[in-house]
Amino acid sequence: MNVTVKIMKTDKTEKIVLEKGSTVENLLEKIKIKPDTIIVLSDNKPIPVDDILTENQEILILKVASGG
């Protein structure tokens, strides 16, 4: 299954190959991004890490920062 991933901070877009039935969390593990450091969007809506991805789904990853 192919998923297109765009990471906003780097403006990098790539196709990632995952097994059918993979979740957002599986995707993040594969590209080595911690889920607590980003927001994942699909169709401009936030999606949880346990969402199951579909063939040719487009994912946007926004890195978040916090501080004081």
Tell me if 36 is assigned to some domain.
Answer: yes
Is the model's pLDDT at 9 over the cut of 90?
no
CA distance 6 to 34: 16
CA distance 3 to 17: 6
Q: Helix (H, G, I), strand (E, B), or coil: what is residue 63?
A: strand
Tell me if 21 is assigned to some domain.
Answer: yes
Domain boundaries, position 45 = 2-63
CATH code of the domain covering residue 30: 3.10.20.90
| pLDDT confidence of residue 12 | 82
Q: Helix (H, G, I), strand (E, B), or coil: what is residue 32?
A: coil
Tell me if 68 is assigned to some domain.
Answer: no
Tell me if 37 is assigned to some domain.
Answer: yes
CA distance 13 to 6: 4
The domain tally of the chain equals 1
68: confidence class by pLDDT, cuts 50, 70, 90: low
